[in-house]
């Protein structure tokens, strides 16, 4: 009997310690999107995307123009010229597709390059707040991951992190 009581107390002791620990929570994407650097990065990405899309449209227009010329003159072309024009169209189409893929890749790389320092700054602010207030961990509440958090053990740190980042909020 004494043994059962001892083991029960031993099992409940870690739970008592754990329940006294506090944690923080915030919407990571909410704070991230409120950062001025995020807005600047999004603007730069959009501008770059527009430039790539403009060049893609230029390539498509050139292909369509050459195809229309080919289509209109194909019955008058000798076999050798017909084959030459077909080859030119094929090469133009392949170059256009290659450029689209390369543009997509470069855009993704640029986005990562622009966003990585922002994420690092936010992560550092979250870490700093967690260490300063002694939180065991900090939860990201995005996508309704945690539909309920007991305010007796969890603390919304959104404002503290935003203040740490120098973000003015309502």
- How do strand 23-26 and strand 138-140 relate by DSSP bridges? parallel
In a domain, 8, yes or no: no
Average of per-residue pLDDT across 145-166: 92
Residue 82 domain-assigned? yes
Spatial separation of the C-alpha atoms in residues 32 and 155, rounded to whole Å: 19
* pLDDT at residue 11 is higher than 60: no
Q: Phi, psi at residue 28, to the nearest 5°? A: -60, -50
Q: Is residue 155 pLDDT above 60, yes or no?
A: yes
Strands 138-140 and 154-156: unpaired
Nearest partner of 139 among 161, 116, 112, 165, judged by Cα = 161
Could you tell me if residue 146 is inside a domain? yes
Query: Total domain count for the chain?
Result: 1
Residue 151: phi, psi to the nearest 5? -70, -10
Q: Is 125 exposed, middle or buried (0-12, 13-18, 19+ CB in 10 A)?
A: buried
**Residue 153 structure tokens:** 């053990």
Residue 75 counted as domain residue: yes
Angstrom distance (rounded) from CA 25 to CA 147? 12
For residue 132, give its domain range: 19-164
Q: What's the pLDDT at 170?
A: 64
Assess contact for 83 and 9: CB atoms under 8 A.
no
In a domain, 94, yes or no: yes
Asked whether residue 62 is assigned to any structural domain, the reply reads: yes
Residue 58 has pLDDT above 50, yes or no: yes
- Helix ranges (H only) for the chain are 2-20, 28-34, 36-73, 79-133, 158-164
Is 45 part of any domain? yes
How many CB atoms are closer than 10 A to CB 98? 10
Residue 169 lies in a domain: no
pLDDT digit string, tens, across residues 79-123: 999 999 999 999 999 999 999 999 999 999 999 999 999 999 999
Query: pLDDT confidence of 168, banded at 50, 70, 90?
Result: confident
User: CA-CA distance, 167 to 24, in Å (whole number)?
Assistant: 19
Computed on alpha carbons and rounded to an integer, the radius of gyration of the chain in Å comes to 30
Q: How many of the other CB atoms lie within 10 Å of CB of 63? A: 15
């Amino acid at each position: 009997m004494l043994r059962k009581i001892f083991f029960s107390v031993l099992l409940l002791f870690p739970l008592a310690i754990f329940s006294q620990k506090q944690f923080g929570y915030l919407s990571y994407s909410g704070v991230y999107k409120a950062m001025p650097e995020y807005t600047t990065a999004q603007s730069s990405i959009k501008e770059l995307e527009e430039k790539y899309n403009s060049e893609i449209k230029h390539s498509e227009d050139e292909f369509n123009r050459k195809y229309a010329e080919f289509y209109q003159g194909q019955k008058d072309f000798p076999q050798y010229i017909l084959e030459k024009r077909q080859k030119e169209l094929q090469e133009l189409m392949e170059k256009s597709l290659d450029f689209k893929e390369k543009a997509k890749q470069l855009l993704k790389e640029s986005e990562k390059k622009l966003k990585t320092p922002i994420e690092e700054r936010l992560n550092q602010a979250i870490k700093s707040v967690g260490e300063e207030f002694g939180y065991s961990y900090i939860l990201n509440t995005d996508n309704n991951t945690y539909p309920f958090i007991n305010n007796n053990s969890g603390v919304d740190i959104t404002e503290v992190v935003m203040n740490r980042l120098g973000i003015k909020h309502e």
